[in-house]
A = this chain, B = another copy of it.
Amino acid sequence: MNETIGDRAAAMLAKAATISEPGPGVTRLPFTPEHAHANDLIAGWMQAAGLDTHRDAAGTLIGRREGATPDAPTFLLGSHQDSVRGGGAYDGIMGVLLPVLALEQLHDTPLPFAVEVLCFADEEGVRFPTALIGPRALAGTLDPAVLDMADRSGLRLGEALEGFGDPAAIGSIARAPGSVMGYLETHIEQGPVLEAEDLPVGIVTAIAGIERHAVTITGRAAHAGTAPMTLRKDALCAAAELVTGVERICGETENAVGTIGHLEVAPNVVNAVPAEVVATIELRSAEDVIRAEVASRVAEVARQATDRRGCALRMERTYQQPAKACAPELQDALEAAVAATGVRPLRLMSGATHDASAIADLCPMAMLFVRCREGVSHHPDEYAAPEDMGCAVGVLVNVLRGLAATDTQGAASRSS
Protein backbone atom coordinates (compact mmCIF):
# COMPACT_ATOMS: atom_id res chain seq x y z
CA MET A 1 0.00 0.00 0.00
CA ASN A 2 1.35 3.42 -0.89
CA GLU A 3 1.93 5.93 1.86
CA THR A 4 -0.74 8.61 1.67
CA ILE A 5 -0.21 12.30 2.26
CA GLY A 6 -2.09 11.88 5.53
CA ASP A 7 0.28 9.09 6.58
CA ARG A 8 3.24 11.32 5.80
CA ALA A 9 1.73 14.13 7.87
CA ALA A 10 1.21 11.70 10.75
CA ALA A 11 4.81 10.49 10.52
CA MET A 12 6.18 14.04 10.43
CA LEU A 13 4.04 15.06 13.44
CA ALA A 14 5.15 11.97 15.34
CA LYS A 15 8.76 12.87 14.68
CA ALA A 16 8.21 16.49 15.72
CA ALA A 17 6.47 15.28 18.88
CA THR A 18 9.68 13.62 20.05
CA ILE A 19 11.20 17.10 20.34
CA SER A 20 9.89 17.84 23.80
CA GLU A 21 10.89 18.32 27.38
CA PRO A 22 10.67 15.03 29.29
CA GLY A 23 7.27 13.96 30.60
CA PRO A 24 3.93 12.89 29.17
CA GLY A 25 2.80 14.41 25.90
CA VAL A 26 4.57 17.28 24.16
CA THR A 27 6.12 20.19 26.05
CA ARG A 28 7.86 22.52 23.61
CA LEU A 29 8.17 26.08 24.81
CA PRO A 30 9.35 29.05 22.71
CA PHE A 31 13.02 30.06 22.49
CA THR A 32 14.28 26.83 24.04
CA PRO A 33 16.62 24.13 22.74
CA GLU A 34 13.49 22.15 21.78
CA HIS A 35 12.25 25.09 19.74
CA ALA A 36 15.60 25.35 17.92
CA HIS A 37 15.62 21.62 17.30
CA ALA A 38 12.04 21.69 15.95
CA ASN A 39 12.86 24.65 13.71
CA ASP A 40 15.78 22.70 12.19
CA LEU A 41 13.55 19.74 11.46
CA ILE A 42 10.76 21.85 9.98
CA ALA A 43 13.16 23.98 7.93
CA GLY A 44 14.49 20.77 6.39
CA TRP A 45 10.97 19.73 5.42
CA MET A 46 10.27 23.19 4.03
CA GLN A 47 13.42 23.09 1.91
CA ALA A 48 12.55 19.61 0.65
CA ALA A 49 9.22 21.09 -0.50
CA GLY A 50 11.07 23.77 -2.48
CA LEU A 51 10.78 26.62 0.00
CA ASP A 52 13.51 29.03 0.97
CA THR A 53 13.76 29.33 4.72
CA HIS A 54 14.78 32.09 7.09
CA ARG A 55 13.79 33.39 10.50
CA ASP A 56 12.41 36.86 11.05
CA ALA A 57 13.21 39.20 13.94
CA ALA A 58 10.38 37.75 16.07
CA GLY A 59 11.80 34.25 15.76
CA THR A 60 9.21 33.08 13.25
CA LEU A 61 10.55 30.41 10.91
CA ILE A 62 9.41 31.27 7.37
CA GLY A 63 9.43 29.01 4.32
CA ARG A 64 8.86 31.05 1.17
CA ARG A 65 8.33 30.48 -2.51
CA GLU A 66 8.45 33.51 -4.74
CA GLY A 67 5.63 34.70 -6.92
CA ALA A 68 5.58 35.18 -10.67
CA THR A 69 7.01 38.67 -10.34
CA PRO A 70 9.23 40.30 -7.67
CA ASP A 71 6.41 42.63 -6.61
CA ALA A 72 3.75 39.90 -6.45
CA PRO A 73 1.77 39.90 -3.21
CA THR A 74 2.26 37.12 -0.69
CA PHE A 75 -0.28 34.62 0.59
CA LEU A 76 0.43 33.42 4.12
CA LEU A 77 -0.17 30.00 5.65
CA GLY A 78 0.94 28.59 8.96
CA SER A 79 0.48 28.33 12.69
CA HIS A 80 2.71 27.90 15.74
CA GLN A 81 5.34 25.39 16.84
CA ASP A 82 4.90 25.63 20.60
CA SER A 83 2.74 23.50 22.87
CA VAL A 84 1.25 23.74 26.32
CA ARG A 85 2.94 21.69 29.05
CA GLY A 86 2.04 18.05 28.52
CA GLY A 87 0.15 18.92 25.36
CA GLY A 88 -0.55 17.02 22.17
CA ALA A 89 1.24 16.46 18.88
CA TYR A 90 -1.16 18.42 16.64
CA ASP A 91 -2.14 21.75 18.17
CA GLY A 92 -0.22 24.39 16.22
CA ILE A 93 2.46 22.43 14.44
CA MET A 94 -0.01 20.51 12.25
CA GLY A 95 -0.94 23.89 10.76
CA VAL A 96 2.71 24.38 9.77
CA LEU A 97 3.30 20.95 8.26
CA LEU A 98 0.10 20.48 6.25
CA PRO A 99 0.80 23.65 4.18
CA VAL A 100 4.34 22.39 3.58
CA LEU A 101 2.88 19.17 2.17
CA ALA A 102 0.41 21.18 0.08
CA LEU A 103 3.19 23.31 -1.38
CA GLU A 104 5.22 20.18 -2.09
CA GLN A 105 2.28 19.00 -4.20
CA LEU A 106 2.19 22.37 -5.97
CA HIS A 107 5.94 22.40 -6.51
CA ASP A 108 5.59 22.37 -10.28
CA THR A 109 2.40 24.42 -10.41
CA PRO A 110 2.96 28.08 -11.23
CA LEU A 111 1.28 30.49 -8.82
CA PRO A 112 1.19 34.20 -9.59
CA PHE A 113 1.60 35.22 -5.92
CA ALA A 114 4.33 34.39 -3.44
CA VAL A 115 3.52 31.95 -0.64
CA GLU A 116 4.97 31.79 2.84
CA VAL A 117 4.50 29.14 5.48
CA LEU A 118 4.91 30.73 8.90
CA CYS A 119 6.00 28.77 11.93
CA PHE A 120 5.33 31.10 14.85
CA ALA A 121 7.34 30.72 18.04
CA ASP A 122 4.72 31.29 20.72
CA GLU A 123 0.97 31.10 20.63
CA GLU A 124 0.20 29.29 23.90
CA GLY A 125 1.71 31.89 26.22
CA VAL A 126 3.01 29.23 28.60
CA ARG A 127 6.56 30.51 29.14
CA PHE A 128 6.04 34.27 29.18
CA PRO A 129 2.94 36.17 30.33
CA THR A 130 2.28 37.17 26.72
CA ALA A 131 1.78 35.38 23.42
CA LEU A 132 1.33 35.92 19.67
CA ILE A 133 4.66 37.73 19.34
CA GLY A 134 5.23 36.58 15.76
CA PRO A 135 1.89 37.52 14.22
CA ARG A 136 1.72 40.77 16.16
CA ALA A 137 5.16 41.77 14.89
CA LEU A 138 3.98 41.10 11.32
CA ALA A 139 0.80 43.08 11.89
CA GLY A 140 2.69 45.96 13.53
CA THR A 141 0.68 45.60 16.74
CA LEU A 142 3.41 44.25 19.03
CA ASP A 143 3.90 46.28 22.17
CA PRO A 144 7.70 46.41 22.59
CA ALA A 145 7.18 46.39 26.39
CA VAL A 146 6.52 42.65 26.21
CA LEU A 147 10.21 42.12 25.49
CA ASP A 148 10.86 43.02 29.12
CA MET A 149 8.53 40.34 30.48
CA ALA A 150 10.39 37.57 32.27
CA ASP A 151 9.86 33.82 32.48
CA ARG A 152 9.90 31.91 35.77
CA SER A 153 13.70 31.84 35.77
CA GLY A 154 13.78 35.63 35.46
CA LEU A 155 15.02 35.59 31.85
CA ARG A 156 13.54 38.44 29.80
CA LEU A 157 11.69 37.63 26.58
CA GLY A 158 14.07 39.94 24.71
CA GLU A 159 17.03 37.91 25.95
CA ALA A 160 15.37 34.57 25.22
CA LEU A 161 14.69 35.75 21.67
CA GLU A 162 18.43 36.23 20.94
CA GLY A 163 19.63 33.40 18.73
CA PHE A 164 16.11 33.00 17.27
CA GLY A 165 15.34 36.54 16.13
CA ASP A 166 16.48 40.07 16.67
CA PRO A 167 14.75 41.97 19.47
CA ALA A 168 16.23 45.28 18.25
CA ALA A 169 14.69 44.80 14.78
CA ILE A 170 11.33 43.41 15.87
CA GLY A 171 9.60 46.74 15.31
CA SER A 172 10.69 46.87 11.68
CA ILE A 173 9.23 43.63 10.31
CA ALA A 174 5.61 44.75 10.07
CA ARG A 175 4.37 43.91 6.61
CA ALA A 176 2.90 46.58 4.37
CA PRO A 177 -0.84 45.77 4.24
CA GLY A 178 -1.02 45.71 0.43
CA SER A 179 1.89 43.28 0.23
CA VAL A 180 -0.11 40.47 1.85
CA MET A 181 -3.16 38.86 0.21
CA GLY A 182 -4.33 36.96 3.22
CA TYR A 183 -3.56 34.38 5.88
CA LEU A 184 -4.97 30.87 6.14
CA GLU A 185 -4.39 28.88 9.31
CA THR A 186 -5.05 25.16 9.56
CA HIS A 187 -5.67 23.92 13.10
CA ILE A 188 -7.08 20.97 14.97
CA GLU A 189 -10.62 21.89 16.01
CA GLN A 190 -10.08 21.35 19.76
CA GLY A 191 -13.81 20.77 19.98
CA PRO A 192 -16.39 18.10 19.16
CA VAL A 193 -18.38 19.68 16.33
CA LEU A 194 -16.74 18.07 13.27
CA GLU A 195 -16.74 14.67 14.97
CA ALA A 196 -20.43 15.06 15.76
CA GLU A 197 -21.09 16.09 12.14
CA ASP A 198 -18.87 13.25 10.82
CA LEU A 199 -16.77 15.67 8.76
CA PRO A 200 -12.97 15.69 8.34
CA VAL A 201 -12.65 19.47 8.02
CA GLY A 202 -14.66 22.62 8.60
CA ILE A 203 -14.53 26.30 7.66
CA VAL A 204 -14.17 28.79 10.48
CA THR A 205 -16.47 31.80 10.41
CA ALA A 206 -14.78 33.82 13.14
CA ILE A 207 -12.57 33.60 16.14
CA ALA A 208 -14.89 34.18 19.03
CA GLY A 209 -14.70 37.26 21.18
CA ILE A 210 -14.41 36.55 24.87
CA GLU A 211 -15.50 38.27 28.02
CA ARG A 212 -15.20 37.16 31.60
CA HIS A 213 -17.04 38.35 34.67
CA ALA A 214 -16.16 37.85 38.32
CA VAL A 215 -19.33 37.31 40.30
CA THR A 216 -19.79 37.45 44.06
CA ILE A 217 -23.20 36.61 45.48
CA THR A 218 -23.62 37.36 49.17
CA GLY A 219 -26.48 35.84 51.06
CA ARG A 220 -26.68 35.03 54.74
CA ALA A 221 -25.29 32.02 56.57
CA ALA A 222 -27.94 30.09 58.46
CA HIS A 223 -28.46 26.75 60.15
CA ALA A 224 -29.70 24.27 57.56
CA GLY A 225 -32.25 22.95 60.05
CA THR A 226 -33.57 26.05 61.76
CA ALA A 227 -33.88 28.48 58.85
CA PRO A 228 -37.21 28.02 57.03
CA MET A 229 -37.04 28.17 53.24
CA THR A 230 -38.92 31.48 53.21
CA LEU A 231 -36.44 33.23 55.53
CA ARG A 232 -33.25 32.19 53.77
CA LYS A 233 -30.82 34.17 51.66
CA ASP A 234 -29.15 31.19 50.04
CA ALA A 235 -26.24 32.37 47.90
CA LEU A 236 -25.89 28.99 46.19
CA CYS A 237 -29.54 28.88 45.14
CA ALA A 238 -29.09 32.30 43.51
CA ALA A 239 -25.88 31.14 41.86
CA ALA A 240 -27.56 27.96 40.64
CA GLU A 241 -30.27 30.00 38.92
CA LEU A 242 -27.48 31.98 37.27
CA VAL A 243 -25.70 28.80 36.13
CA THR A 244 -28.81 27.38 34.46
CA GLY A 245 -29.60 30.86 33.14
CA VAL A 246 -26.26 31.06 31.33
CA GLU A 247 -26.87 27.56 29.96
CA ARG A 248 -30.36 28.44 28.74
CA ILE A 249 -29.50 31.84 27.24
CA CYS A 250 -26.46 30.55 25.36
CA GLY A 251 -28.37 27.45 24.29
CA GLU A 252 -30.99 29.71 22.71
CA THR A 253 -28.36 31.84 20.95
CA GLU A 254 -26.58 30.85 17.73
CA ASN A 255 -22.81 31.27 17.72
CA ALA A 256 -22.47 31.81 21.44
CA VAL A 257 -21.25 29.74 24.33
CA GLY A 258 -21.25 30.54 28.00
CA THR A 259 -19.69 28.73 30.91
CA ILE A 260 -19.50 29.00 34.65
CA GLY A 261 -16.36 26.94 35.07
CA HIS A 262 -15.24 28.15 38.47
CA LEU A 263 -17.56 28.31 41.47
CA GLU A 264 -16.83 28.22 45.18
CA VAL A 265 -19.22 28.10 48.10
CA ALA A 266 -18.69 29.47 51.62
CA PRO A 267 -18.81 28.18 54.31
CA ASN A 268 -19.32 25.00 52.24
CA VAL A 269 -20.47 22.68 54.99
CA VAL A 270 -23.29 20.19 54.85
CA ASN A 271 -25.52 21.81 57.50
CA ALA A 272 -25.11 25.52 56.72
CA VAL A 273 -27.09 27.58 54.23
CA PRO A 274 -24.44 28.97 51.85
CA ALA A 275 -23.54 32.56 52.73
CA GLU A 276 -21.43 33.40 49.71
CA VAL A 277 -20.61 32.12 46.24
CA VAL A 278 -17.83 33.40 44.03
CA ALA A 279 -17.88 32.33 40.41
CA THR A 280 -16.67 33.34 36.99
CA ILE A 281 -18.83 33.67 33.91
CA GLU A 282 -17.15 33.31 30.53
CA LEU A 283 -19.04 34.23 27.37
CA ARG A 284 -17.81 33.76 23.81
CA SER A 285 -19.40 34.58 20.52
CA ALA A 286 -18.44 34.92 16.88
CA GLU A 287 -20.13 38.33 16.92
CA ASP A 288 -19.53 41.03 19.49
CA VAL A 289 -23.11 42.31 19.29
CA ILE A 290 -24.41 38.84 20.09
CA ARG A 291 -22.00 38.55 23.00
CA ALA A 292 -23.08 41.92 24.33
CA GLU A 293 -26.72 40.87 24.08
CA VAL A 294 -25.98 37.59 25.88
CA ALA A 295 -24.02 39.42 28.58
CA SER A 296 -26.91 41.79 29.12
CA ARG A 297 -29.42 38.93 29.47
CA VAL A 298 -27.08 37.05 31.82
CA ALA A 299 -26.65 40.15 33.98
CA GLU A 300 -30.43 40.48 34.16
CA VAL A 301 -30.77 36.84 35.28
CA ALA A 302 -28.09 37.45 37.93
CA ARG A 303 -29.99 40.50 39.16
CA GLN A 304 -33.31 38.67 39.34
CA ALA A 305 -31.84 35.54 40.92
CA THR A 306 -30.18 37.55 43.68
CA ASP A 307 -32.98 40.10 44.19
CA ARG A 308 -35.59 37.38 44.58
CA ARG A 309 -33.55 35.83 47.41
CA GLY A 310 -32.44 39.04 49.11
CA CYS A 311 -28.83 38.37 48.16
CA ALA A 312 -26.33 41.02 47.16
CA LEU A 313 -24.66 40.81 43.74
CA ARG A 314 -21.29 42.07 42.64
CA MET A 315 -20.49 41.40 39.00
CA GLU A 316 -17.47 42.87 37.30
CA ARG A 317 -16.14 42.34 33.78
CA THR A 318 -12.51 41.32 34.21
CA TYR A 319 -11.54 40.54 30.61
CA GLN A 320 -12.68 41.33 27.12
CA GLN A 321 -11.34 40.41 23.70
CA PRO A 322 -13.25 41.26 20.52
CA ALA A 323 -14.26 38.69 17.93
CA LYS A 324 -12.24 38.49 14.72
CA ALA A 325 -14.29 37.60 11.66
CA CYS A 326 -12.81 35.40 8.98
CA ALA A 327 -12.76 37.13 5.58
CA PRO A 328 -15.92 36.21 3.64
CA GLU A 329 -14.02 35.83 0.35
CA LEU A 330 -11.56 33.40 1.96
CA GLN A 331 -14.43 31.49 3.59
CA ASP A 332 -16.00 31.20 0.13
CA ALA A 333 -12.68 30.06 -1.34
CA LEU A 334 -12.44 27.42 1.41
CA GLU A 335 -16.02 26.34 0.80
CA ALA A 336 -15.33 25.76 -2.90
CA ALA A 337 -12.08 23.97 -2.06
CA VAL A 338 -13.77 21.70 0.50
CA ALA A 339 -16.67 20.93 -1.82
CA ALA A 340 -14.18 20.05 -4.57
CA THR A 341 -12.79 17.27 -2.34
CA GLY A 342 -16.29 15.82 -2.06
CA VAL A 343 -16.77 16.88 1.54
CA ARG A 344 -19.83 18.78 2.72
CA PRO A 345 -18.66 22.29 3.64
CA LEU A 346 -19.60 23.14 7.22
CA ARG A 347 -18.99 26.54 8.75
CA LEU A 348 -18.34 26.82 12.46
CA MET A 349 -17.06 29.33 14.99
CA SER A 350 -13.69 28.99 16.63
CA GLY A 351 -14.23 29.24 20.35
CA ALA A 352 -10.48 29.29 20.99
CA THR A 353 -8.02 32.02 20.06
CA HIS A 354 -5.35 31.45 17.37
CA ASP A 355 -2.47 33.23 15.64
CA ALA A 356 -5.03 34.21 13.02
CA SER A 357 -6.70 36.56 15.48
CA ALA A 358 -3.55 38.72 15.54
CA ILE A 359 -2.93 38.46 11.80
CA ALA A 360 -6.47 39.75 11.28
CA ASP A 361 -5.06 43.22 12.01
CA LEU A 362 -2.84 42.91 8.93
CA CYS A 363 -4.88 41.19 6.23
CA PRO A 364 -7.92 39.05 5.50
CA MET A 365 -7.63 35.80 7.41
CA ALA A 366 -9.35 32.44 7.42
CA MET A 367 -9.06 29.13 9.19
CA LEU A 368 -9.54 25.50 8.26
CA PHE A 369 -10.37 23.17 11.16
CA VAL A 370 -9.44 19.49 11.17
CA ARG A 371 -11.55 16.98 13.10
CA CYS A 372 -10.34 16.34 16.64
CA ARG A 373 -10.96 12.98 18.31
CA GLU A 374 -13.46 13.40 21.15
CA GLY A 375 -12.75 17.13 21.13
CA VAL A 376 -9.67 16.48 23.28
CA SER A 377 -6.82 18.96 22.95
CA HIS A 378 -3.98 20.32 25.09
CA HIS A 379 -3.51 16.74 26.26
CA PRO A 380 -1.32 13.79 25.22
CA ASP A 381 -4.46 12.09 23.83
CA GLU A 382 -4.98 14.84 21.23
CA TYR A 383 -5.43 13.19 17.83
CA ALA A 384 -6.32 13.95 14.22
CA ALA A 385 -6.67 11.03 11.82
CA PRO A 386 -4.23 10.74 8.87
CA GLU A 387 -7.10 10.67 6.37
CA ASP A 388 -8.52 13.89 7.81
CA MET A 389 -5.12 15.56 7.54
CA GLY A 390 -4.84 14.27 3.96
CA CYS A 391 -8.21 15.86 3.21
CA ALA A 392 -6.98 19.14 4.70
CA VAL A 393 -3.88 19.10 2.47
CA GLY A 394 -6.17 18.58 -0.50
CA VAL A 395 -8.27 21.56 0.57
CA LEU A 396 -5.16 23.75 0.90
CA VAL A 397 -4.04 22.70 -2.59
CA ASN A 398 -7.47 23.54 -3.94
CA VAL A 399 -7.54 26.90 -2.18
CA LEU A 400 -4.15 27.93 -3.59
CA ARG A 401 -5.16 26.77 -7.06
CA GLY A 402 -8.44 28.64 -6.73
CA LEU A 403 -6.73 31.82 -5.56
CA ALA A 404 -4.28 31.52 -8.43
CA ALA A 405 -7.13 31.23 -10.92
CA THR A 406 -8.91 34.22 -9.39
CA ASP A 407 -5.69 36.21 -9.31
CA THR A 408 -4.95 35.37 -12.92
CA GLN A 409 -8.48 36.31 -13.95
CA GLY A 410 -8.16 39.46 -11.91
CA ALA A 411 -4.87 40.29 -13.60
CA ALA A 412 -6.44 39.48 -16.95
CA SER A 413 -9.45 41.71 -16.24
CA ARG A 414 -7.15 44.46 -14.96
CA SER A 415 -5.07 44.26 -18.18
CA SER A 416 -8.11 44.15 -20.45
Residue from B208, B224, B352, B378 in contact with A257 in the complex, judged by beta carbons closer than 8 Å: B224
Does any Cβ of B come within 8 Å of A320's Cβ? no
Residue from B227, B251, B257, B272 in contact with A375 in the complex, judged by beta carbons closer than 8 Å: B227
What is the 8 Å Cβ interface bit string for chain A, positions 282-304, against chain B (1 contact, 0 not)? 10100000000000000000000
CB distance from A248 to the nearest CB of B (A): 9
Q: Which 5 A-B pairs have the closest CB atoms?
A: A225-B351, A191-B226, A240-B243, A240-B240, A224-B259
**Cβ contact within 8 Å between A268 and B273:** no
Does any Cβ of B come within 8 Å of A11's Cβ? no
Give the distance in Å from the alpha carbon of A248 to the alpha carbon of B143 in the complex: 53
Give the distance in Å from the alpha carbon of A350 to the alpha carbon of B284 in the complex: 47
Which residue among A225, A231, A269, A280 has the maximum number of chain B CB atoms within 10 Å of its CB? A225
- A244 in contact with B250 given A227-B257, A269-B262, A377-B223 (CB within 8 Å): no
Question: Which A residues fall within an 8 A CB radius of B?
Answer: 189-193, 196, 208, 210, 212, 222-231, 234, 236-237, 239-241, 243-244, 247, 250-251, 257-265, 267-274, 280, 282, 284, 350-353, 375, 377-378
- A261 in contact with B273 given A231-B192, A352-B223, A375-B223 (CB within 8 Å): yes
Q: Which residues of B contact A191 (CB under 8 A)?
A: 222-223, 225-228, 231
Give the distance in Å from the alpha carbon of A237 to the alpha carbon of B249 in the complex: 13
**Cβ contact within 8 Å between A227 and B265:** no
**Cβ contact within 8 Å between B244 and A240:** yes
**Cβ contact within 8 Å between A226 and B352:** yes
- A257 in contact with B225 given A234-B247, A268-B263 (CB within 8 Å): yes
Other 19 A-B pairs with CB < 8 A, given A193-B228, A240-B243, A262-B270: A191-B225, A208-B225, A212-B270, A223-B351, A223-B378, A225-B353, A226-B350, A227-B351, A229-B250, A234-B247, A234-B259, A237-B244, A240-B244, A244-B244, A259-B272, A259-B273, A261-B270, A263-B268, A270-B282
Q: Which residues of B contact A230 (CB under 8 A)?
A: 251
**Cβ contact within 8 Å between B268 and A262:** yes
**Cβ contact within 8 Å between A271 and B259:** yes
Give the distance in Å from the alpha carbon of A223 to the alpha carbon of B212 in the complex: 15
Pull 17 A–B residue pairs with CB atoms less than 8 Å apart, ordered by A. Answer: A191-B223, A191-B231, A192-B231, A193-B231, A225-B257, A225-B284, A225-B351, A226-B352, A226-B375, A227-B375, A259-B271, A261-B267, A261-B269, A261-B272, A261-B274, A262-B269, A270-B280
Give the distance in Å from the alpha carbon of A18 to the alpha carbon of B191 in the complex: 63
Which residue among A259, A264, A265, A377 has the maximum number of chain B CB atoms within 10 Å of its CB? A259
Give the distance in Å from the alpha carbon of A350 to the alpha carbon of B193 in the complex: 53
Give the distance in Å from the alpha carbon of A352 to the alpha carbon of B93 in the complex: 61
Give the distance in Å from the alpha carbon of A92 to the alpha carbon of B386 in the complex: 73
Residue ID in chain B nearest A191 by CB atoms: B226
Give the distance in Å from the alpha carbon of A351 to the alpha carbon of B193 in the complex: 49
**Cβ contact within 8 Å between A261 and B268:** yes
**Cβ contact within 8 Å between B284 and A224:** yes
Q: Which residues of B contact A251 (CB under 8 A)?
A: 229-230
CB distance from A262 to the nearest CB of B (A): 5
